[in-house]
Structure 1
Amino acid sequence: MHRGERDAAIRMLMSRSAGTFVKSSKSCVFDPVSRQAAEDLVDAIRERLFRIARKPVSQRQVEDILGITSRERIRWGKDGRLPRSGASRIRKGATEISLWTYPCDAIERLAASPAEIRQWREKDEATTSIGFSSIFV
Structure 2
Amino acid sequence: MDRCVTLTRNDNSSIVSIDLDLCMPLGLRVHRGERDAAIRMLMSRSAGTFVKSSQICVFDVDSRQAAEDLLDDIRERLFQIACKPVSQRQVEDILGITSRERIRWGKDGRLPVSGTSRIRKGVTQISLWTYPCDAIEHLAANLGEIRRWREEDAATTSIGLAANFG
One-letter code aligned to 1:25:
S
| 1:46 aligned partner, one-letter code | R
Q: 1:126 maps to which residue?
A: 155
Secondary structure at 1:10 match in 2: helix
* Corresponding residue of 2:62: 33
The gaps in structure 2 that reach 5 residues or longer are: 1-26
Q: What is the CA-CA distance between 1:136 and the residue it aligns to?
A: 3.4
Q: What residue is the counterpart of 1:56 in the other structure? A: 85
- Which has a greater percent of helix? 1
Q: CA RMSD in A?
A: 1.4
Match of 2:43 among 6, 14, 17: 14
Q: TM-score, with normalisation over the residues of structure 1?
A: 0.92
Shift of 1:134: 3.2
Unaligned stretches of 5+ residues in structure 1: none
Query: 1:28 Cα shift?
Result: 1.1
Aligned residues: 137
Query: Counting strand residues as a fraction of each chain, which structure ranks higher?
Result: 2
Is it true that 1:66 corresponds to 2:82 in the alignment? no
SS at match of 2:77: helix
Opposite residue 165 of structure 2, the aligned amino acid is: F
Query: What SS is found at the alignment partner of 2:113?
Result: coil
**Structure 2 residue 131 is the aligned partner of structure 1 residue 102:** yes
**1:83 maps to 2:112:** yes
Q: Measure, in 1, the Cα distance between the counterparts of 2:142 and 2:104.
A: 19
Matched, 1:116 2:128: no
